[in-house]
Amino acid sequence: MAIRQIRTIGDEILRKQCKPVKEMTPRTAELIEDMFETMYEANGVGLAAPQVGILRQLVVIDVDDGNQYVLINPEILETEGSQTGSEGCLSVPGKSGTVTRPMHVKVKALNEKLEPYELEGDGLLARAICHEIAHLRGELYVDIVEGELVDVGADEEEIAEEA
């Protein structure tokens, strides 16, 4: 496993559409492990493949609920309600902003064995799912931020919902 470089805002790869994952190769399995390790090292709760320079529809999430989520080729099936709160991003270091996301989301995806499954999430998990899937379309939370981005200190950065 290895820590990968996280691409930051201004890197054109973050604005590109990702391609579906068609098969689980040793390289893809290694990418998943590296993405988790990179995300934990950076104190994030989610990471999308384009954030480490790979244009594939692959997301990892860990919102500290006892689960590690791998979403391959994810597709949002339904959303419900809304939540407005502070959001950050590992690709936009040192900043956060107010973003409204669904309170509940249902998504279908493939797991690390390329088996289909559905995942429902509320609150922070719903926010993380929506945030990470947006990365796969080349979208960043700064595109939908309400008001201005604000600077966050090192202590606050760990608290901000980073993905």
Catalytic positions are 132
- Annotation-wise, does 104 bind a ligand? no
Tokens of 49: 């493949």
Q: How far apart are CA 156 and CA 160, in angstroms?
A: 6
Are the beta carbons of 109 and 57 closer than 8 angstroms?
A: no
Query: What burial class does residue 122 get, using C-beta atoms within 10 Å of its C-beta: 0-12 exposed, 13-18 middle, 19+ buried?
Result: middle
Binding residues for Fe cation: 89, 131, 135
